[in-house]
Every structure is written in structure tokens, then in C-alpha cells.
Amino acid sequence: MSSSGSPGKLNAGILRRKEVMERFSATSLTFPGLVLIALVLLVPVLWLFWLSAFDAAGDLSWANYERMGKSIYVRTFTTTFRIAIIVTVCCAILGYPVAYLMSQAGRRLSLVILLSVLLPFWTSVLVRTYAWLVLLQRTGLINGWLQNWGIIDEPLALVHNELGTIIGMIHVMLPFMILPLYASMKAVDPSLMLAASNCGATPAQAFRQVYFPQTVSGLSSGAGLIFVLCLGFFVTPVLLGGGRTYMWAMQIADNISLYGNWGAASALGVVLVIATALVLLAVQFVLRRAGGTK
């Protein structure tokens, strides 16, 4: 005769077996996706590491990484990160008020603003870059208007330099900041601001101590995404930089197209991948400190 506890144990065993089968089924469903990710992401990255470990003669060497200490590589690396940081900060400054307006506006106005934010995605980056070239050049619309209004006497150097590159990159990257911020702001409970006001907090104090901390996750996500994308920018710096703004992606392209040195180009790519991974880890750390993830 079975003991009084055996039916409970039997049911618990059945439940555990069902849980194991469900996990196995879920894993088997994701297996094709994991294989695809391994083929299109992991294999090329490993191939990149492999190529970077050999010199031009095909011998195993650290020569491709040793050249990273040359002044041209250091200058290019510094320029790339400086521009990425400037673009990220500018997008945060410009995107936060827009996202806040979207989250607080009525339904119709919010949809109009959202459409305006998404509208640039319908146009190629190349077309948008050429449009900025027309606007910013010495004989362009902006310099023409400023001279006609008597604000300036000489055309401003707005393009073929770092300033033009930054302006074009901000235009491309701004939606990637607004959308995560908008999502985090819509999740904020409006009653919290009312509660802070009832407790005696001024609007500035309520915003700084109650509202802003709850939007840090969206701000961090947008900043991390923009910064990582800026590290690999190519078209905009080439056209708006005019050859005077030399970024890391351009250095990689020149190593392949001009010198045919796949090892050096791969080493540059590896350094960029590692830098990107460090940025993502930093963003994850910020999110954890902000309470966005556990």
C-alpha cells in the first residue's frame, strides 16, 4: 500500500517532467535562431580575430596590434571616440525635451511629433548626408541666409570639417535617442509627480528626484546605442568631413582598399569590437545601478 504522501510526490514529479519538456521545447525552437546568429555574427568575429593574428607574410605575429601605437592610429581612435561622445551628448540634450513633449502631449500632437521623428528613416542616409552638404557648404542655403540677413560677412566653415560631420551624425542618430526615452517616459506614473508636489517639492525638485531617475534607463539605452553606432560611421564622415575628419571605419577601409592589408584591418576591427563590448558593459552597469535591470 502506498503512503499518504505518494500522490503529492507523483504530481510533483509529473509537473517537473512537464517543466523539463517545456524548457526543452523552447530551447529546440530557438536552436535555428542560435545557429543563424552563430553563422552571421560569431563566425565572422572569430574570423576577424584569426586574421588579425597573422602578419603580411602569413606568420603568427602581434605586428598588427603593435602598430596601434602609431600616431595616426591613436589620432584616428581619439577622433572617433571624441565625435561619438559629442554626438551622444548632443542627442541626449536635444532628444530629452522632444521625448518629454511627446509623452506629455495629447494623442494627436504626440502622433504628429512621432511621425516627424520617424520620417528621416524613410530616406536613405546617403541622401540625407548630401542634403546637409547642400545646406552647409560655403555657397549653401544657411550661409546664404546668414549673409543676406547681415549676420555674417564671410561664409562660415560648416562643412568639410568635424563640425559638419557632427551635425550630420546628430541628424541621423537623434531618433535612436528619442524613441527609448519616449518609451521610458510613458511608463512613468503621473501620480508620482503629484505626490511629490503634495509633499512640498517644487517642480524642479520633483523632476530631478522623482521623474528623471525613472527615465535613466531609456537615456542610458539610447546613449549606448548611439555611441556604438557612431563608432562605425563611414558615409557621413567621408562626405561631410571632406577628408579632414578621419574616423576608425575609414582607417579600416583604407587598409583594405589601398594597401590590401587584411590583417591590419582586422586588428582595427577587433579593437573596435572590444571597445564596443566595453561600452555595452558600461551601459549595463548604469542600468543596474539605476534599477532598470537585475
* Rounded Cα gap, residues 220 and 280, in angstroms: 10
pLDDT (0 to 100) of residue 178: 94
Q: Yes or no: is domain 65-290 CATH 3.30.1490.20?
A: no
8 A C-beta contact, residue 163 and residue 179: no
Confirm if 92 and 223 have CB atoms less than 8 A apart: yes
| Domains in the chain: boundaries | 1-52, 65-290
Report which of 206, 207, 188 is spatially closest to residue 198, judged by C-alpha positions: 206
Q: What angle do CA 82, 83, 89 make, to 5 degrees?
A: 90
Residue 183 pLDDT more than 70? yes
| Tens-digit pLDDT profile for residues 62-96 | 888 888 878 888 888 889 999 999 999 999 999 99
Mean pLDDT of 120-129: 87
251: CB partners within 8 A, 6+ apart: 72, 73, 76, 268
1 pLDDT more than 50:
no
Nearest to 117 by CA among 166, 188, 167, 172: 172
Pull the grid cell for residue 40: 552571421
Q: With 0.75 as the threshold, say if the pTM is over it.
A: yes
